[in-house]
Structure 1
Amino acid sequence: MNFEAVIFDMDGVLIDSEPFWRKAEIEVFKTVGLNLTEADCMKTTGYRFDEVVEYWFHQSPWHGKTTAQIAEEVISKMEHYMLHEAPLMQGVEETVKHAQALGYKTAVASSSAIKLIRAMAQRLGGQHLFQALVSAEFEAHGKPHPAVFLTAAKQLGVKPERCLVIEDSVAGVIAAKAAKMTCAAIPYSFDFENPKFAIADFKFHNMLELKSWLQ
């Protein structure tokens, strides 16, 4: 394969955190009178969380808490979930180690806050599995903008066109393709037949299927 690096999204790819994001969002937004459903939360899957908060504030402005306070409350809940409750996706450790054994550089490039990425890495046994941990919180724009993937490639010292991105969201796939990277999608089962994933170069049902394909 014509790759030098594998860049993993985090939420929904390395750790099954998406249901916990929805839980945290529903709980925290309710404190300002915004009653979100799980379907509402799915509309912003893959987006940087400050942009999620701004999206909902624009839809239904509230009083009593700033958007920054809402974001911090959700992220605080998510840090607990990442460390103690959200399960790692099946086959994650084996797949990352397999990629390294094949000589690929590895990185995480996520819309989530850097402290959540580090919490996930801790769950996996430490940051040594990845040469770079990159958060879109330090970029001018989150996904579907390609900035976080381009930063990851730069930190790895690999040209974008030599990177393989692993994503679970349409926004992430768009970002990877905008970065001129090859993208393999691993959508959740309920979203697997979503026609929007047609822009991905490859699509797999799970991480172990990806591992078998990766050479």
Structure 2
Amino acid sequence: MRVGLFVTCLVDLMRPRIGFAALKLLEGAGCEVVVPEGQTCCGQPAYNAGDAATARGLALKVLDDFEGLDWVVAPSGSCGGQIVKAYPELLKDDPANHARALQLAARTRELTDFLVNVLKLEAVPGRFDGTVTYHDSCSGLRELGVKAQPRQLLARVPGLLLTEMGGCEECCGFGGTFSVKFGDISAQIAERKARNVQASGADAVVLGDLGCMLNIEGKLRRMGDENTRVLHVAEVLAGDA
């Protein structure tokens, strides 16, 4: 099985160890992982900003970069959601590429969904001695149905205890360009999320999107919380936390 790893811009630039953790998990499960060197952005920032022309150009590039692979996996619900939901819409007036977009959407999965529902992974290499709480990122939850999958995998991590926080499905306030356009509102939403994380009593908050990670971690640190760890689910599952 040849699997293309869509690394994502944020992972590549801000936290590459998440990409290496995803690679470890996929290869450990027996996949032949292909990481196209020319891959760039999924186009979501342009799409959210209303720049459809730029978003279409990036969509076509992703179609070319990941042509011929059995699956495409992203350690990000937001980038996965862009490929699955937005690409067919962006290319609906281009019959040939619309068909390609539909084919790509059908073989694109968020990482934990792929591990659970395609690979049927029964064991993970990681260990985590402590308590975690899980934040459901908006795009993964609402566009791709990622909810039970990360929790199923975390339940297989030796030493880990999952405790649910209040409002686990509520937005963290990031929302890509939303946090830039509506900074004051975003900050208030992020503070509510951070308070819920703290109230859970967990040693770490775990999630599946780096944008949310950066937003939550930044708010926790600005609130003076230097102890609560903010981790990507791939890091925990791979034992790289």
Shorter-chain TM range is: 0.3 to 0.5
Q: Please, what TM-score do these two structures have when normalized by structure 2?
A: 0.38
Structure 1-normalised TM-score? Answer: 0.40
* Larger relative contact order, structure 1 or 2 (CA cutoff 8 Å, min sep 6): 1
